[in-house]
DNA sequence: CTTATATTTAACTAAATGGTTAAACCAAAC
DNA sequence: GTTTGGTTTAACCATTTAGTTAAATATAAG
């Protein structure tokens, strides 16, 4: 009788999925407790099984939903660009924004990478592969036009995806690290900032002739 | 009676720690089962509690051991370098090699980042902070000497650490992704290759005057 | 041989956890 | 009012899991 019972917002299924995303992101698949998810959603555990299914189905639903949103965001922000350079900027920015929007994607993805995708349904893998493929396409196109240096595409797109995911997912641990070493405090940058700066840095190292881009990036 | 029982190598404690590192890396803290670790080490579960302690202590021991090894490797490979550019190459290479050497560090680190360090003892956090601090020092030094562009240090060192960890940790999932999209097969690059190429790419984007470095990086 | 100490084992416990079920509730249709 | 369908609830079950314990076995010392 503490304070729970908040059935206000949205349909039951939505509330369950939202709660599940939060818990799965912070606790991982094995760490998450079904009762805990139900409690946070303000529903009885049995409703969770009634509306969605067992733990694995619930997780699959969350991952798929989150990845779908991210993919939509990416392809939406990718229309206007023409040159490989513009496309590169657009795709990095789009990934950063999309990932930043679904707040729980970075943690979930990091864990899935770590476990080799142990809990990922096939459909979710397709979603991931789509993102990778988009980055890669832009990269190879630029290389074929002789605009980008002949860098390892695998390395590059893992660098981009890894940087974004890592940076966004590390928000909770950064304050703890900052307390120990004199690291910069939790500079709460927006995903857009991250995307823009990352694109600048990588592009600068990627272009054949040292294009001066939009000048040096502003510090912190 | 399948095939277990292999007590040959090393002391009991060592065997337990090795088995624990493997399981924790692939399953995560919550996913790992103490019985499973004991079985892989070829010992009775009670021995694990006798020699080391409970699950949390065991995990702490593994993380600390792994991080200590990595830190040693990093500072060892960092002596010869003088200029910021050399130092940068050295530190990136050292991190890649150190992380690559303790095969289970990438997975463990990715999970810890994702959970905000939920299972990390203070000492392990200090180990992490040390690595970050090393990268950061090199970076800032180069910037103060006017050799590096004024990029965001936080972004840069998370990019480096994130790229390396992400790339090394993703080895198990890459074949699965490759099956779906026409991604490059699991190009089994050595940590040294990764470190060298990454340093090239980032340095090229980092230097003020477009130094041509050691030429373009070889593809895959 | 006997005693003491370190190590290993099998059996057990208590709690947590995923999942189920049968009954209650509630709205609209008849 | 009662029937019908979807929805919600409380109580329950079976299994898994971390952790313990007391006995057994080896090993070395006196």
Summarised one tens digit per residue, pLDDT across range B130-178 is 887 888 888 888 889 988 888 877 778 788 888 889 989 988 888 888 7
pLDDT at B68 over 90: no
Read off the pLDDT of each residue in B190-210 and give the average, rounded to a whole number: 76
Q: Specify the DSSP class assigned to residue A148.
A: B
User: Cα separations (Å) of B189 from A88, A161, B179, B197?
Assistant: 25, 18, 19, 11
Q: How far is the CA of B113 from the C1' of C10 (A)?
A: 39
Report phi then psi at A81, rounded to 5. Answer: -70, 145
- pLDDT band at residue A10 under the 50/70/90 scheme: low
Residue B29: list chain A partners with CB under 8 A.
31
| Rounded Cα gap, residues A115 and B214, in angstroms | 36
Residues A166-200: tens digit of each pLDDT: 989 988 888 888 788 765 555 667 888 888 888 88
Contact A187 B154 (CB under 8 A): yes
In whole angstroms, give the CA distance from residue A137 to residue A41. 40
| Mean pLDDT to the nearest integer, A87-115 | 90
Distance from CA of A66 to the nearest CA of B (A): 16
Higher pLDDT, B212 or A119: A119
Nearest CA-CA partner of B88 in B131, B154, B141, B163: B141
How do residues B112-136 score in pLDDT, each as one tens digit? 999 998 888 888 888 888 887 888 8
Separation of alpha carbons A155 and A140, rounded Å: 13
Q: Who among A107, A125, A217 is closest to B150 (CB)? A: A217
What's the confidence (pLDDT) of residue A214?
Answer: 45
Q: Are B15 and B47 in contact (CB under 8 A)?
A: no
Q: What is the pLDDT of residue B56?
A: 94
Question: Distance from residue B44 (CA) to nucleotide C10 (C1'), in Å?
Answer: 9
Query: Tens digits of per-residue pLDDT, A34-81?
Result: 999 999 999 999 999 999 999 999 999 999 888 888 888 888 877 778
Q: Give percent of chain B with pLDDT exceeding 70.
A: 85
Chain B residues in contact with A151 by the CB 8 A cut-off are 197, 201, 216-217, 219
A206 pLDDT band, cuts 50/70/90, is low
Q: Which residue of B has its CA nearest to A210?
A: B210
CB contact under 8 A, B159 and A167: yes
Of residues A21 and A201, more confidence is placed in: A21
Of A28, A108, A177, Cβ closest to residue B132: A177
- Find the CB nearest B181 among A111, A132, A203: A132
**Can you say whether residue A215 is alpha, beta or left, with left for phi > 0 and alpha for psi between -120 and 50 degrees?**
left
> How far is Cα A195 from Cα A212, in angstroms, rounded to an integer?
18
Return the closest nucleotide (C1') to the Cα of B12.
Answer: C7
Say how far apart CA A51 and CA A148 lie, in whole Å. 50
From chain A, pick out residues whose CB is under 8 angstroms from the CB of B202: 201, 205
Q: How far is CA B122 from CA B60, B118, B127, in A?
A: 10, 11, 9
Say which residue the tokens 């990352």 belong to.
A198
* pLDDT at A148 exceeding the cut of 90: no
Q: Does B106 touch chain A (CB under 8 A)?
A: yes
* DSSP-derived 3-state class of residue A89: helix
Q: What is the mean pLDDT of chain A?
A: 81
pLDDT at residue A4 greater than cutoff 70: no
pLDDT value of position A8: 42
Q: Mark which residues 39-78 of B lie under 8 Å from A by CB.
A: none
Reported as a pLDDT band with limits 50, 70 and 90, residue B2 is very low
Rounded CA separation B105/B115 (Å)? 15
Give the pLDDT confidence score for residue B129 in this predicted structure: 83
Q: Are A28 and B114 in contact (CB under 8 A)?
A: yes
Top pLDDT among B218 and A83 is at: A83
For residues A141-168, give the mean pLDDT. Answer: 85
Higher pLDDT, A77 or A111: A111
The rounded percent of chain B whose pLDDT value lies above 90 is 29
Task: Tell me what pLDDT residue A113 has.
Answer: 93
**Strand C contact with A125 (CB < 7 A):** no
If contacts are CB pairs under 8 Å, which of residues 113-152 in chain B contact chain A?
A: 113-118, 125-126, 128-130, 132-133, 136, 149-152
- Chain B nearest CA to A105, separation (Å): 10
B28-53 CB burial, b ≥16 within 10 A, e <16: bbbbbeeebbbebbbbeeebbeebbe
Tokens 């023409």 belong to which residue?
A82
In strand C, the nucleotides that come within 7 Å of a protein beta carbon are 7-11, 16-22
């Amino acid at each position: 009788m503490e304070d729970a019972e908040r059935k206000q917002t949205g349909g039951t299924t939505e509330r369950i999925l939202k709660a599940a995303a939060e818990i799965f992101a912070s606790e991982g698949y094995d760490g998450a407790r079904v009762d805990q998810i139900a409690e946070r959603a303000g529903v009885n555990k049995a409703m969770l099984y009634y509306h969605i299914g067992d733990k694995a189905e619930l997780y699959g639903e969350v991952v798929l939903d989150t990845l779908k949103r991210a993919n939509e965001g990416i392809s939406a922000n990718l229309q206007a660009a023409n040159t490989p350079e513009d496309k590169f900027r657009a795709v990095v920015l789009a990934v950063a924004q999309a990932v930043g929007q679904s707040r729980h994607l970075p943690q979930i993805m990091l864990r899935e990478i770590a476990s080799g995708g142990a809990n990922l349904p096939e459909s979710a893998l397709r979603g991931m592969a789509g993102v990778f493929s988009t980055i890669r396409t832009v990269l190879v196109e630029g290389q074929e036009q002789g605009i980008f240096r002949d860098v390892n595409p695998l390395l590059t797109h893992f660098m981009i995806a890894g940087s974004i995911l890592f940076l966004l997912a590390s928000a909770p641990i950064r304050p703890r690290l900052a307390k120990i070493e004199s690291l910069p405090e939790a500079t709460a940058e927006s995903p857009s900032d991250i995307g823009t700066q990352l694109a600048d840095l990588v592009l600068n190292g990627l272009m054949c002739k040292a294009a001066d881009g939009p000048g040096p990036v502003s510090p912190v």
